[in-house]
Structure 1
Amino acid sequence: MLEFPRWKYILILAVVLISALYALPNIYPQDPSVQVTASRGATVDDALRLKVENTLKTAGIAPKSVAIEDSNLLVRLPALDAQTKAADALRPALGENYVVALNLASTVPSWLDKLFARPMLLGLDLQGGVHFLLQVDQKAALDKRLDAYAEDVRVALRDARIGYESVERRNDNSIRVALTQGGDPAKAREAIGKSLATLQVTLEDGALVARVPDAELNQIVLSAIEQNVGTLRNRINEIGVAEPIIQRQGTDRVVVQLPGVQDTAQAKRIIGATATLEYRAVVDGNAFDAVSTGKVPPDARVYYRKETGLDGKPMPVLLSKRVIATGEQLVDAKYQIDPQSGTPSVQVTLNGPGGQRMFDFTSQNVGKPMAVVYIERIPETKIVDGKEVRSTRTVEQVINVATIQGVFGKNFQTTGLESPRFAQDLALQLRAGSLAAPMDFVEERVVGPSLGKENVERGTQAVLYSFLFALAFFLIYYRMFGVITCLALLLNLLMVIAVMSVFGATMTLPGFAGLALSVGMSVDANVLINERIREELRAGMPPKTAIATGYDKASGTIFDSNMTALLAGIALFAFGTGPLKGFAVTMIVGILTSVFTAVTVSRALATLLYGRRKKLKTLAI
């Protein structure tokens, strides 16, 4: 008759306790804060902490705390206006070696954090977040691709054993090839055309000129923007931002919105980074003499090492103009500790062409040095005549010069990195993909949570009122079974919040609509059960039999109707974007929890109340 297995009671109790535990972090408010992260070899230490405290004191800002947390300096502040004021004071004081970004610091107790219990993320429309507008450097994209074309022309001529004096890029997006005396232009044109079919090769003033068609140039620019969007998406996925918005705006701009991020400094550093590696041969010669006299070998270029000499200045080194391999040819990059030296390193895997080039070079140069060049573009902002002028500075630094001990191809290790953090960031940037063209921050806006405060209040009120109306209806219309239904609805809301917190889902304004809908679906399921029990009582069944039969007959209908809605939610999540996904996530979670609470939890409560009554003549329903 009216029975319920004991193991199900244990399951329900476990679900209630776990849901309460993982929903608990949402009651702890977040502190407005400013996060200071070191970059380009700077350190976060007590000296920096004292400098930050003195800067804030001079600016008249009283922080709640200034402490080093997870290798970053976190300044917790009492209010949002103090947060903005503190960031404006710290940025010029700390300089370009530190990233100063607004953040919302968690106040969740450490014991909850150890259990991986974290608050649910809120979307840009509710909690705020970071909005970036990035400008793609189209000229740099063309220069990068034309440099690659020039190198491909050199390779094609060498493979065909055709001598040449120079292969140079010109300002009109063409490549000029000067052959050696007695060189056959027709044979050279044939070799270039065979390897690079898209280039238009002509003979002008005794030299070959290879031009890139206008259609190809336009395609290079468009492809660069699309590749940058894909690379940004990969990088943001690496740092675990939920439901980011990354899309093109116009012909040369990209919009990036990161709602509910926990580490905006890391996000800004990774998104804005245009770091890559180049592997170049070391050219014989005295670099110090080349710098002092200005006489640099024609096939070489002066670079500077990260190490400094006795005079405290960076040490110069002569490197070949020809690049052996670049970050664009990289397939995978992993951070690891070098077992021999115990220093941080990056294990690099190149693609087929890059690996072949590396193999060819190392085969012919065992015992000779090879250098690793780290290239980074640093965005800068200066005030000129009262106006903000943005520019970009390129830093090229030799991070390692090592002797080639043996022949290797696509798999090798890059060592000599300054710190584990630098090695991890470099591996992430290389693994996520290199940017096809540099990008500058045109606009950066931090959307504070105060802007979404009204949305949060109204969304919460909408869910609360829908919940209260449902409770009032059930209590008046179904009496004791209304109490059972109310308890099931409360657990449903608790489970939805817990599940979304555990999986790191982002609650948006449409998500509130999905939450209200899940309450409605749960109400619908409980109405079906209660009305089915009433029908069985009208048919003359005993109360206990009516309860058991009502749940049995209504369960199939509830399952069918909810599965239909669940399929619709999955379709919205699979094919929708932005707000539709936020709505779909909350809807899917709410449907699954409502089926459990309506069918299982409410039945357990009904059995607990009426199952052991021997003389049950009527039901309060």
Structure 2
Amino acid sequence: MLQIPLWKRIVIWALCLAAFLFALPNAFYDRVETHNDASEAVAASAIAPTPEQTAALGMWPDYLPSSLVNLGLDLRGGAHLLAEVQLADVYADRIDALWPQMRDALRDARDEVGGIRRTQSEPGVLAIQISNAAGLERAVAIARTLAQPVTTLTGAGQSDLDISGAGDTVTIQLSEAERSATDLRTMQQTLEIIRRRIDEVGTREPTIQRQGDDRVLIEVPGIGSAEELKSLIGTTAQLTFNTVLNRTTDPDTPVEAGQALYPSESEPGTYYLVQTTPVVSGEDLTDAQPAFDQSNNPAVNFRFNGAGGRVFGDYTARNIGRPFAIVLDDQVISAPVINSAIPGGSGIITGNFTVEESTELAVLLRSGALPAELSFLEERTIGPELGQDSIDAGRMASLVAMAAVVVFMVLCYGWFGVMANVALAVNVLGILALLSVIGATLTLPGIAGIVLTMGMAVDANVLIYERVREELRAGRNPVRALDEGFQKALSAIVDANVTTLLTAVIMFAFGSGSVRGFAVTLGIGIITSMFTSIFVTRSLVATWYAWRRPKTITV
């Protein structure tokens, strides 16, 4: 086992060198961060870099890796919010939007149902009273013509409305399947809107995730205060449908009064010249869902309210064959061609979409404004000074832990302990390198995971060396003792690390926030510690033995 092929040694030390290179930028964090910010700004700009950007780009060589470990909220400072989405408001809005359609449909059957009026009911319920109770069955049948199938897999085959009649009153509300589908869409839309608004200000690695059925966790490192974050989330994105005048790749295309040149979000380098006065705005859009067209290709169904539907129907009838631009925050997210008139306020957008693209477009179409009010249940501001204190404390804890481990290994195992400490250093570099490459966020619990990994990393070496001691006491020669020590300890090392890795996977799958941060660093640390204990330590021992050729060894 000590006879390691040359190619395998090259692979092992190449991985160690890669770990060093990818971990290196974290030793010059501020310089590399400044370089990365300037690089992103230059890449996003169509003009030459400014002198300040050029100086920032020179702060780190382009031929070296520049990925950094992202610092979490507790290390960088920033704002933390826990918000509750008022899903019941969405139900009420959907039912309120249904009343004009129901009123118009019942008016056409006035001879059978008589007069109609909306009566008082709880939010999310539409109660319509008719003057001719004998026409109740007819009124219920008319109401059912407005129902649509639920568009989710779990609600397949079910209607989106529960319709019933009693006495002289028709009652309409969303079905349970539609409420579940609406909850999913609303939460998805809320997350997308919040993410887009926060990304606009260039914050680094925000955490925006759903918690439970109706809550959203928002953590943004580097932002001034929770109030500033709430103000940012509360702003309204502008969604409009505009007439397309021209499509070009020239960002300097002349623009006349009443026109604007907007970049395409899906086609980099493409610009659309549009009329600034919108045909309809996002306020008139009531829903947009991914769907499939008649050829079973991914598409997007959309629906306007009554006023928006009439305007859009007249516009499409006059502009068949021409594109129209869907503009969100001064960017064209799509520019479909009008194939036919779209009366009634409902239509379909087709194109060369994938299923993912049609789903994303549907979410973006619904992203004009937050779909429901957010109630902030928890808000917290962490200052940068406290974050720096956390970094210093974490660094000190790591150094103390490493120093204790290093001293222990040298005192207990002598020269073999030194080789174990070299493998431990490689292990820490490997953790930092992997965290940098995958863009993971390091938090205080994550630092705890790294400290714990240090102890687990040398634990594997302890198992190996104790096995070697047993073989030496049994009278084995040095080569046989080392060989047997590594072989017999392997199963115990793998068993211990695999069970701990499974624990880390479970914590990541079912945990959130700081628990996930701990699970990520623990899991990565287990992988790197297995590599260093099984391969790096063995390679070091084999190299040392081939060089010294001792007659006896003392572990």
Same fold (TM over 0.5): yes
Query: Does the alignment pair 1:21 with 2:21?
Result: yes
Query: Does the alignment pair 1:619 with 2:548?
Result: no
8 Å CA contact 2:79, 2:382 repeated in 1:
yes
Query: Which residue of the partner structure matches residue 518 of structure 2?
Result: 583
What per-residue deviation string (whole Å, max 9, x for no partner) do you get for residues 235-283 of structure 1? Answer: 677879868254579x99854223579xx9xx999955654757799xx
Query: Which residue of the partner structure matches residue 437 of structure 1?
Result: 372
**Could you say if the C-alpha distance between residues 6 and 121 of structure 1 is closer, same or farther in structure 2, counting changes exceeding 3 Å?**
same
| Structure 1 unaligned blocks of 5 or more | 35-63, 74-105, 282-305, 333-346, 378-394, 415-424
Write the letter of the residue equivalent to 1:28.
F
Aligned equivalent of 1:412, options 350, 354, 368: 350
Query: Which residue of the partner structure matches residue 416 of structure 2?
Result: 481
SS in 2 for 1:117: coil
**Could you say if the C-alpha distance between residues 220 and 373 of structure 1 is closer, same or farther in structure 2, counting changes exceeding 3 Å?**
farther
Write the letter of the residue equivalent to 2:7.
W
8 Å CA contact 2:80, 2:219 repeated in 1:
yes
| Structure 2 unaligned blocks of 5 or more | 48-55, 148-160, 244-255, 260-274, 353-359
1:350-389 paired onto structure 2 within 5 Å: 350-351=300-301, 366-367=317-318
How far apart are the structure 2 equivalents of 1:473 and 1:322? Answer: 68
Query: Which residue of the partner structure matches residue 207 of structure 2?
Result: 244
Query: Which residue of the partner structure matches residue 162 of structure 2?
Result: 198
**Could you say if the C-alpha distance between residues 260 and 610 of structure 1 is closer, same or farther in structure 2, counting changes exceeding 3 Å?**
farther
Query: Does the alignment pair 1:530 with 2:465?
Result: yes
Query: Which residue of the partner structure matches residue 328 of structure 1?
Result: 288
SS in 1 for 2:386: coil
1:162-201 paired onto structure 2 within 5 Å: 187-192=138-143, 195=146, 198=162
Please state how far the C-alpha of 1:187 moved relative to its aligned partner.
2.6
Aligned equivalent of 2:407, options 459, 463, 472: 472
8 Å CA contact 1:366, 1:406 repeated in 2:
yes
How far apart are the structure 2 equivalents of 1:110 and 1:368? Answer: 53
Please state how far the C-alpha of 1:321 moved relative to its aligned partner.
13
8 Å CA contact 1:25, 1:119 repeated in 2:
yes
Please state how far the C-alpha of 1:220 moved relative to its aligned partner.
10
1:173-322 paired onto structure 2 within 5 Å: 187-192=138-143, 195=146, 198=162, 227-234=185-192, 244=207, 246=209, 254-259=216-221, 275=237, 308=258
Query: Does the alignment pair 1:500 with 2:460?
Result: no
SS in 2 for 1:617: coil
**Could you say if the C-alpha distance between residues 277 and 500 of structure 1 is closer, same or farther in structure 2, counting changes exceeding 3 Å?**
same
The total of aligned residue pairs comes to 468
SS in 1 for 2:512: coil
**Could you say if the C-alpha distance between residues 375 and 411 of structure 1 is closer, same or farther in structure 2, counting changes exceeding 3 Å?**
closer
Aligned equivalent of 2:483, options 523, 548, 558: 548
How far apart are the structure 2 equivalents of 1:122 and 1:535? Answer: 45
How far apart are the structure 2 equivalents of 1:245 and 1:315? Answer: 33
Query: Which residue of the partner structure matches residue 510 of structure 1?
Result: 445
Query: Which residue of the partner structure matches residue 499 of structure 2?
Result: 564
How far apart are the structure 2 equivalents of 1:613 and 1:168? Answer: 99
8 Å CA contact 2:187, 2:210 repeated in 1:
yes
**Could you say if the C-alpha distance between residues 525 and 140 of structure 1 is closer, same or farther in structure 2, counting changes exceeding 3 Å?**
closer
How far apart are the structure 2 equivalents of 1:542 and 1:485? Answer: 21
Please state how far the C-alpha of 1:319 moved relative to its aligned partner.
6.9
Query: Which residue of the partner structure matches residue 426 of structure 2?
Result: 491
1:40-79 paired onto structure 2 within 5 Å: 70-71=44-45
How far apart are the structure 2 equivalents of 1:108 and 1:571? Answer: 43
Query: Which residue of the partner structure matches residue 456 of structure 1?
Result: 391
CA RMSD of aligned residues (A): 5.8
1:93-112 paired onto structure 2 within 5 Å: 109=59, 111-112=61-62
**Could you say if the C-alpha distance between residues 592 and 219 of structure 1 is closer, same or farther in structure 2, counting changes exceeding 3 Å?**
closer
Query: Which residue of the partner structure matches residue 419 of structure 1?
Result: none
Query: Which residue of the partner structure matches residue 30 of structure 1?
Result: 30
What per-residue deviation string (whole Å, max 9, x for no partner) do you get for residues 164-222 of structure 1? Answer: 9999989976869899x9x9676334311565553566898xxxx76657xx6999999
Percent identical residues: 33
How far apart are the structure 2 equivalents of 1:164 and 1:374? Answer: 41
Query: Does the alignment pair 1:608 with 2:543?
Result: yes
Query: Which residue of the partner structure matches residue 297 of structure 1?
Result: none
Write the letter of the residue equivalent to 2:138.
K
**Could you say if the C-alpha distance between residues 210 and 351 of structure 1 is closer, same or farther in structure 2, counting changes exceeding 3 Å?**
same
What per-residue deviation string (whole Å, max 9, x for no partner) do you get for residues 320-340 of structure 1? Answer: 9996x65533569xxxxxxxx
Please state how far the C-alpha of 1:348 moved relative to its aligned partner.
9.1
Higher helix share: 2
Query: Which residue of the partner structure matches residue 263 of structure 2?
Result: none
TM-score norm. by structure 2 comes to 0.65
TM-score norm. by structure 1 comes to 0.59
Query: Which residue of the partner structure matches residue 288 of structure 1?
Result: none
Write the letter of the residue equivalent to 1:569.
A
8 Å CA contact 2:190, 2:371 repeated in 1:
no
